[in-house]
Chains A and B, each alone.
Chain A
Amino acid sequence: MTLPSKKLYQKNQQEQISSEFFRQKLKLKNLEVKNSFNEKYPHVKKFFEDKGITLAKLREHSGKVITTGALTSTLLFSPPLLSANIPPITKMIKNLADFTSSPPSVPTQQTLLTSLQQILPQKIGPLDRQQEKTLEQVFQNTIGISTKANLEGEHLNTTYGYIGAEQHLMRYPGDTMATHPKLAEKDEGMAPGRGAWGYFAYSKTEMTKQDVENEKWYAVVQTLYLPDWKSRLNYLRDWYKYRKVLIVNTVNGNAVVADIADSGPAAFTGKHFGGSPEVMNYLGGARYKKGPVVIFFVDDPQNKVPLGPVEYNKMNIPGISLKEA
Chain B
Amino acid sequence: MSKLFFDHLLSLDKLDHEIKKIAKTQEEREELWVLVDEIIHHKVFHLILDKLPRDNHEEFLEMFHKAPHDEAYLFGYLKEKIGENIEEILRQELGDVTYEILTNTTNGQ
Chain A contact residues, CB within 8 Å of chain B: 15, 18-19, 21-23, 25-30, 33-34, 36-37, 40-41, 43-44, 47-48, 51, 53, 55-56, 58-63, 65-67, 70-71, 74-75, 77-79, 81, 123-126, 155-158, 164, 191-196, 224-225, 227, 262-270
Contacts and interface: CB of A to CB of B under 8 A. Distances in A.
Query: Which of B2, B23, B29, B57: most chain A CB closer than 10 A?
Result: B2
Contacts of B66: 65, 70, 74, 77
Contacts of B25: 193-194
Chain A interface mostly: helix
B96 interface: no
A126 B1 contact: yes
A58 B35 CA distance: 13
A266 B23 CA distance: 13
B7 A58 contact: no
Interface string B90-109: 00000000001100111100
Contacts of B8: 123-124, 270
B11 A270 contact: yes
Contacts of A164: 13
Interface string B67-109: 1111111001000000000000000000000001100111100
A193 B24 contact: yes
B58 A47 contact: yes
B12 A65 contact: no
Contact of A59 (B4, B12, B107): B4
A58 B37 CA distance: 9
Contacts of B24: 15, 19, 193
Please provide the 3 A-B residue pairs with the shortest distance between their CB atoms, ordered closest to farther.
Answer: A63-B2, A25-B105, A74-B67
A196 B38 CA distance: 22
B29 A193 contact: yes
B39 A158 contact: no
21 contacts: A19-B23, A21-B107, A26-B32, A44-B45, A51-B65, A56-B37, A59-B4, A62-B2, A65-B66, A65-B69, A66-B1, A74-B70, A77-B67, A77-B70, A79-B72, A126-B1, A157-B1, A227-B2, A262-B26, A268-B16, A270-B12
